[in-house]
Amino acid sequence: MYQDLVVGFAQIGAESEWRTANTRSIQDTAIRLGVELKFADGQQQQENQIKQIRSFIAQRVDVIGVSPVVETGWDAVFSEVKQAGIPLILLDRHADVSDDLFSAFIGSDFVLEGQRACVEMAKLLDGQGNIVVLEGTAGSAPTVDRRAGFESCLHQRPGMQVIARQYGDFIRARGKEVMKTFLQTYGSQIDALFAQNDDMALGAIEAIEEYGLRPGVDIKIVSVDAVRGAFEAMLAGKLNATIECNPLLGPQFFETALKLANGDPVQKWVKSDEGIFRQDTAAQELPKRKY
């Protein structure tokens, strides 16, 4: 029964609107189901998440969940979870560990998101142009995989090239700072921006306007997440497309946790279904958005 379940969750932090929606989905679902949730905010530091996971082991929770801030450095603590006999769910971001160290991964196909962003960019640029890239957190699964997907698609489009890329940690203010340096260095040579999340794209839009260019017109912009702010920017003509990355993973997370606590089989990868949103549907989609 959900009411008998005690779950520990080590969240990454509160770096973006996506993360806020993800946390809200987890906490609201726990309340709705009557699950006892021990929630920890890692403040984007791996060592905090590792400490929090060890605390969950000591408290003998039934199931542990984590959204790994980066892909590597988890073998030791995940082995401790396994030795404690506690099922482990990776939520949102994957970790670079062997399959026997976790019970299930619930999250998106970030490589596909990167490929979709590149296809949208090719349509906007008619296959020709200089692209700058705002990447998320170095070593994180979404950053590594969105880049892989974007680059795999670029290889088939020789008219499009990445002239600069820089990490912005998925944070709006950093996206603005980095875009400013791109503009100072390349100015009007920039035809497009690929931002690995909407928050950084919204920060970049501010920088582009302060520089005196028109975001969405002089510089085409494609980003990822599909948070409400992206739809508002598309409505204003300042963002051209956003690739959906679903943060509302609470229901799937606790459904999987209950199955694991009961010893029932679960899928190794519970993949999120996601779409692509463009300016032409932003007005009708905005009222429907839940995050």
Footprint of ligand GZL (CB under 6 A): 15-16, 18-19, 92-93, 108, 142, 170, 197, 199, 224-225, 245
Give least dist CB 244 to ligand GZL, A.
Answer: 10
On whether the CB atoms of residues 75 and 146 are closer than 8 A, the answer is no
Under 8 Å CB-to-CB from 276, ≥6 apart: which residues?
A: 116, 120, 241, 242, 243, 244
Q: 192: which strand partners?
A: 131, 220
Considering the complex, state which of residue 23 and residue 261 has its C-beta at the smaller distance from ligand GZL.
23
Burial of 98 (0-12, 13-18, 19+ CB in 10 A): exposed
The dihedral region occupied by 85, where left means phi > 0, alpha psi between -120 and 50, and beta the remainder, is left
Considering the complex, state which of residue 15 and residue 71 has its C-beta at the smaller distance from ligand GZL.
15
Give least dist CB 229 to ligand GZL, A.
Answer: 11
* CA–CA separation, 186 and 80 (whole Å): 49
Give least dist CB 5 to ligand GZL, A.
Answer: 24
On whether the CB atoms of residues 81 and 53 are closer than 8 A, the answer is yes
* CA–CA separation, 7 and 182 (whole Å): 44
* CA–CA separation, 226 and 241 (whole Å): 9
Considering the complex, state which of residue 118 and residue 261 has its C-beta at the smaller distance from ligand GZL.
118
In this structure, how many other beta carbons lie within 10 angstroms of the beta carbon of residue 84?
A: 15
Considering the complex, state which of residue 62 and residue 225 has its C-beta at the smaller distance from ligand GZL.
225
Considering the complex, state which of residue 19 and residue 220 has its C-beta at the smaller distance from ligand GZL.
19
Q: What interhelical angle do 250-261 and 17-33 show, nearest 10?
A: 50
Give least dist CB 40 to ligand GZL, A.
Answer: 17
Considering the complex, state which of residue 121 and residue 261 has its C-beta at the smaller distance from ligand GZL.
121
Considering the complex, state which of residue 130 and residue 272 has its C-beta at the smaller distance from ligand GZL.
272
Give least dist CB 127 to ligand GZL, A.
Answer: 26
Burial of 85 (0-12, 13-18, 19+ CB in 10 A): exposed
